[in-house]
Chains A and B, each alone.
Chain A
Amino acid sequence: MALDGWKERLFQKYLYWICRPARLRRKLSDLVKEGRAAPPREGRRLRAAALQVKIRLFKDPLDYAAEAHRRVAEAAAAGAHLVAFPEDNNLPLLGLLPGVEEMGEALAQGEAAPPPAAAGAPEITVADVIRYAGPVLAPFLHTLYSTLASAYGLYLMAGSFLLPDGERVVNRSFFYGPGGELIGTQDKVHLMPIEWEWGISPGREFNLFETAAGKMAAPVCMDATYFETFRILELQGAEIVIIPIANPEPYNYWLALRGIWPRVQECPVFGIKSALVGRLLGFEFTGRAGIFAPAELTPDGSGVLAEVESPEEEGMAMAELDLEALQELRRRHPWRDSNPALYRRYLPRLYCQLEERLKLKPAGD
């Protein structure tokens, strides 16, 4: 690995020092002095907040923590029982690394991306950077979001983080309970081509989080492109599927429609989309955070309960989710059907053939 010299190790020690949980806890105890618990839930109803976060780099992790606290406090003040942050929610902490902010500014002003490594020098991949910074960031992020969840007594999907897991680097979402306990995580299963290029490894299964407030899941971004994600979760009992996104393309209504909205219509669940927006390191992230429901549960049939207006600015979409109404819809659904004989006849063979075909190709090629 390229970053294995003593300077790198020294800098890593510095990162450990400024990200140490004790420092963060002191900051958080100042910030959440006036924290208040979410209002009690009424029956099987809960208020959900989908955050739209405008990305910027932080040189001090405590500033990042203060920003995360501000967003949670605002959502809690509005009565949220469940708050969702976006995908790649640790990217702002790349600002801790020397030169990243300057590189971002240069890229924003139209300069070309840095050239590849000189001949003979090892190439540094995104995965290498994550392996270097990840061990420092993981405990910091856990302390931060766990503390925020318990301080405000709400369910908190902290977004997804690029983190090392042994030799692998994964895009992993984290889901905390109102006591600050980590209820579960979900590795992104369907990777975008660029993530394969970055050296990210895909998840291998879909996880259901069973909570007192309902059965939830938090697959990541591109996972919502494929009906399989939602069908597996629905059939496992999911009632709320949270999708953190960081969509690196200019906003287009129809392109953005290809994710969570049709999935929620196909597999009756509530859907929460949290979005990262803004420009960073040559990427333009857009999206509209929103809360979605089966069309039959929205008065105008739109399937949209709430949506942030701008695809580029900070925002929050908030709506009440009635899980009993969802269960009632499932029991008496007007058009939903199942044909297991058909699926058994085709799906195992076709998935198997696809898997064999993919094995013959290099990953992500």
Chain B
Amino acid sequence: MKVAALSLAGVPLENPAEYAAALAALLKQLQTGLAVLPAHTSFLLCAAQEQLVDAGDFAASFRAFMQKARAWNEVYLQMHCRLARENKLYLVPGTTIVEEGGRFFLAACLIDPGGRIIGWQRQTHLSREERSFGLSRGEELPLFDVEGMKAGLILGTDARHPEVGRILALQGAGLVIHCGAIATGPELAAQPAGIWAQVQQNQFWAVEAQLKGSMGGRTFGGRCAVLGPCEITPGQTGYLDRDAEGRPFAAAELREADRRRIKTDYPLLELLRPEAYRGRLPELYGEV
């Protein structure tokens, strides 16, 4: 299966028709079975099309978006379901805000090639800032079938919490889909501590979409990538492909036979020692 992660750099956001046409052109060029958009895609589109943004205040803009999200999601989901259907691919259109019972969650959906939403994932760990927005944590990590492969979603800050990848891997995930947004600055150097590290300690594939762009005075600059265990990637880097200047996507073919081989030769998960964790995990965990 060929997969792609898109950063949205250079994609026009202000006009829905232009956005859809630009994305469709990119997807046609890539000819992938799965495409992933970055975190905050919904927020970004809403802000651009509904003039939400307070240019100097990301937090204020985000809070405004939370209040608009319920109505906006109809537009956002319809637009991306159509994109998936017309391009006959699985699509994860980045993250949005969903509201349930007065609680707000960061969440992403998986849309199948028929344009149907086949599942949702809520972000399970929140940054200090996200907690300050009043967001709630998801408490489930389901797997979805993507062309015969079990896939899980890792959203935003979840990438930095290895429990998420481990739970998905021990349930049998062969592929992880990540929607991320990393602010520029020293934090960028730590990007491999996220999805790259989760891939290496769980031996699944990952499609990592990172947002490139600015909003509310904050600039995002992580790199999109398609990742696999080091041993089955060029130069043993763990990357099958990464985005680059003027190339706002990473795309690669996932060869499942290669992954099965490395899992046989070096069965990392079978070298786990659950008896040494008993009485410690999850017992030691406390609330933040």
Determine the residue in chain B with the shortest Cβ distance to A350: B170
Min CB gap B113→A, angstroms: 29
A254 pairs with B190, CB closer than 8 A: no
Asked whether A13 is an interface residue with its Cβ less than 8 Å from the other chain, the reply is no
Report how many A-B pairs have Cβ atoms within 8 Å.
182
0/1 interface trace, chain A 340-358, chain B, CB 8 Å (1 if under): 1111111110111111011
A265-B160 contact in complex given A228-B281, A342-B139, A354-B272, C-beta closer than 8 Å: yes
Cα separation A190 to B273 with both chains bound (whole Å): 6
CB pair B197–A203 under 8 Å, yes or no, is: no
Contact A265 B197 (CB under 8 A): yes
Q: Please, how many angstroms separate the alpha-carbon atoms of A189 and B277 in the complex?
A: 10
Partner of B190, one of A265, A358, A361: A265
Binds B, one of A46-54, A89-97, A104-112, A230-238: A230-238
CB under 8 Å from chain A, chain B span 83-119: none
* B244 contacts partner chain A, Cβ-Cβ < 8 Å: no
Q: Is the CB of A347 within 8 A of B197?
A: no
Q: Which residue of B lies closest to A365 (CB)?
A: B270
Place the interface of chain A in its size category: 35 or more
Cross-chain contact A340 with B187 (CB below 8 angstroms): no
A301 touches B128 (CB 8 A): no
A189 / chain B contacts, CB cutoff of 8 Å: 273, 276
A327 at the interface (CB under 8 A from B): no
Cβ distance B51 to chain A, nearest Cβ, rounded Å: 29
Identify whether the interface residues of A are mostly helix, strand, loop, or mixed.
helix
Determine if A334 and B190 form an interchain contact, defined as CB atoms under 8 angstroms apart: no
Closest to B279 in A: A205
- Tell me how far the C-beta of B101 lies from the nearest C-beta in chain A, rounded to whole angstroms: 16
Q: Is the CB of A350 within 8 A of B171?
A: yes
Which residues from 43 to 94 on chain B have a C-beta closer than 8 Å to any C-beta of chain A?
A: none
User: Are the C-beta atoms of A300 and B127 separated by less than 8 Å?
Assistant: no
Does B15 reach chain A (CB closer than 8 Å)?
A: no
Q: How far is the CB of B129 from chain A (nearest CB, A)?
A: 7
Q: Contact check, A301 vs B190: say whether CB atoms are below 8 A apart.
A: yes
- In the complex, A215→B128 CA distance in Å? 26
Complex Cα spacing A206 to B284, Å:
13
How extensive is the interface on chain B, given as a class? 35 or more
Q: Mark A205-216, 1 if CB is under 8 A from B, else 0.
A: 110000000000
Q: Is A114 an interface residue (CB 8 A)?
A: no
Distance from B15 Cβ to chain A, minimum over Cβ atoms (Å): 34
Across the interface, which residues of B come within 8 angstroms of A225, CB to CB?
Answer: 201, 268, 271
Alpha-carbon gap, A338 to B266, bound state (A)? 30
In the complex the two chains form, what is the Cα distance from A299 to B189 in whole Å? 11
- Pairwise interchain contact A203-B276, C-beta atoms closer than 8 A: yes
Q: How far is the CB of B24 from chain A (nearest CB, A)?
A: 34
The stretch of A171-179, A256-264, A277-285 in contact with B is A256-264
Contact B193 A295 (CB under 8 A): yes
Q: Which residues of A contact B139 (CB under 8 A)?
A: 339, 341-342, 345
Distance (whole angstroms) from the CB of A237 to the closest CB of chain B:
10
The answer to whether B286 and A338 touch across the interface, beta carbons within 8 angstroms, is yes
A301/B187 contact (C-beta < 8 A), A226-B201, A343-B163 known? yes
Query: With contacts A254-B235, A338-B287, A358-B274 known, what are 14 further pairs, Cβ within 8 A?
Result: A189-B273, A190-B271, A191-B271, A206-B276, A225-B271, A227-B201, A235-B285, A254-B238, A301-B188, A303-B193, A338-B288, A342-B124, A346-B141, A353-B170
Q: Can you pick out 10 interface pairs between chain A and chain B where the beta carbons lie within 8 Å of each other?
A: A227-B201, A258-B230, A262-B196, A265-B193, A303-B189, A332-B128, A333-B128, A336-B288, A344-B282, A355-B274
Interface residues of A (CB under 8 A from B): 189-193, 202-206, 222, 225-228, 231-232, 235-236, 252, 254-255, 257-258, 261-262, 265-266, 295-296, 298-303, 332-348, 350-355, 357-358, 361
